[in-house]
Amino acid sequence: MLAKLHTFSLFGIDALPVEVEVDVSGASIPKTVLVGLPEAAVRESTHRIARAMVNSGFVRPQDRIVINLAPAELPKQAASFDLPIALGILAASRQFASERLDAYAVVGELALDGSTRPTKGALSMAMAAAAQPDRRGILVPSASAAEAAVVEGVDVISVASLAQAAGFLAGEIEIEPTPSRLDDLFREFSQYDVDFADVRGQEMAKRAVIIAAAGGHNLLMIGPPGAGKTMLAKRVPTILPTLSAAESIETTRIYSAMGRLAPGQPLLARRPFRSPHHTISNAGLVGGGSTPTPGEISLSHNGVLFLDELAEFNRTTLEVLRQPLEDGRVTISRALNATTFPANFMLIVSLNPCPCGYRNDPRRSCHCTPPQIERYMSKISGPLLDRIDIHIEVPAVPYRELSSQTSGTDSHQMREQVLAARALQKTRFAGSRVRQNARMTTRQVRQFCQLNDTCRRVLENSVQELGLSARAHDKVLRVARTIADLENSSTIETSHLNEAVNYRMLDRDLWA
């Protein structure tokens, strides 16, 4: 007898539909044949499935079993095929009859006792099931049900064991769909444990952070060790707008596909903050592998990627950031296919001004020689610096500010300014795919960043004296537009432009 079930195979962060066909026919010697380009984890599943069936009270057919995973050219490499294959064998051997096999997709790994184990990418699979008009719902392991239930428009059936899944499909038991708790999850997981009030002094740096957050601009901080660069960077997510439901699901599915969701947290309600170590490889940063998987820049999607001690990173590793910074996505190409991952993140980098860290520090003497400093700074290329909108110096904090009992600007005050500027940008870019000033196209820059004669002369002098590239020229205009938004000004004034130009001067002093 032939049985057909529907499931999904994870490729990158996308779930692709797979049909599981199981044929059980009489034979003198029992044999199980698995075809359809299964990888090792799927080939080994036949042994797990056999014991799971027996330990769940079912009978393993002593016949010839042929299992086909279609389409045949798609590699199948996850243990999530256990449950659909087991149910297919039971249905094909007439151990249960069901009229629901075509209405529900099935995913899940089985333990030897027949219980289900969590599945990577349950969110993507639920999204794929919701996109199929013939699918009423999806059966998922109990541990993954809350994650899959985030998707609306599809019934997520939580099953704890093979026997329970078979009982539901046979109509012997009814299981209520797992409810979507989006509002509750946002309330529970959207709070931050850090605040900008923790950072003493550094009001000028906080101003630059507000501008960067308001317009989605990339930020470079340079200063001596212990000045507060890392503290500032870690608190940036606290002043960014709250993740929308669509952004949250888009980000969560990346973590879901990689099995990175924290236990008990089926949804990301806070903007991600990623800070990889400087020994990271190219593939670790942008993604890769024989079967492409997301890297740190995709895990930072809709959040912040912080590269501390930038000059310690391998130069070739840093260079792979150039294209994703411009496009907001990264494409990993292999011989037979190409996979695109989202990578719309805010880049924050920090570094010391020299190997010892105390160049230009009035309190400490620097013993680095010019060749050492040159070698240290040369690890960061001009094209990468050109893609960073704002460059600021973060000096050491004086003792009087460290010991002061007066709190500085806190996250709430900074966030109010950021939200007001973002509201103006939302109105400005209505009907466009652009949401932030930093992502304005060249045509939009010409439309929304028009200058009066005085501003034009200021910008012309700056381009000539600082040697700004065409990209840097547009980035100055984008930053000036954000500063004007923070001042609730419809036009870019000279003060806005001067401040934006000042944020491009540091790299000319240090990398000249």
Q: Report d(CA 380, CA 43) in Å as an integer.
A: 47
Backbone angles phi, psi at 392, to 5 degrees: -130, 155
Q: Report d(CA 72, CA 330) in Å as an integer.
A: 28
Per-residue pLDDT of the chain (512 residues; tens, 9 = 90+): 899 999 999 988 999 999 999 999 987 688 999 999 999 889 999 999 999 999 999 999 999 999 999 999 888 988 899 999 999 999 999 999 999 999 999 999 999 999 999 999 999 999 999 999 999 999 999 999 999 999 989 999 999 999 999 999 999 999 999 998 888 888 888 889 999 999 988 899 999 999 999 999 999 999 999 899 999 999 999 999 999 999 999 999 999 999 999 888 999 999 999 999 999 999 999 998 878 899 999 999 999 999 999 999 999 999 999 999 989 999 998 777 788 999 999 999 999 989 998 888 888 888 899 899 888 888 888 888 889 999 999 998 888 888 887 778 899 999 999 999 999 999 999 989 899 999 999 999 999 999 999 999 999 998 888 888 888 899 999 999 999 999 999 999 999 999 999 998 766 666 55
Q: Report d(CA 344, CA 303) in Å as an integer.
A: 8
Contacts (Cβ under 8 Å, ≥6 apart) of 380: 310, 311, 315, 318, 351, 511
Q: Report d(CA 469, CA 38) in Å as an integer.
A: 51
Q: Are the CB atoms for 109 and 139 separated by under 8 Å?
A: no
DSSP state of 273: E
The residues that bridge with 31 in the sheet, in sequence order, are 64
Q: Are the CB atoms for 329 and 199 separated by under 8 Å?
A: no
Q: Are the CB atoms for 437 and 482 separated by under 8 Å?
A: yes
Q: Report d(CA 475, CA 146) in Å as an integer.
A: 42
Residue with tokens 């942008």, as numbered in its chain: 286
Cα→Cα distances 187→260, 267, 370, 434, Å? 21, 11, 53, 28
Dihedral (CA of 46, 48, 51, 54) sign: negative
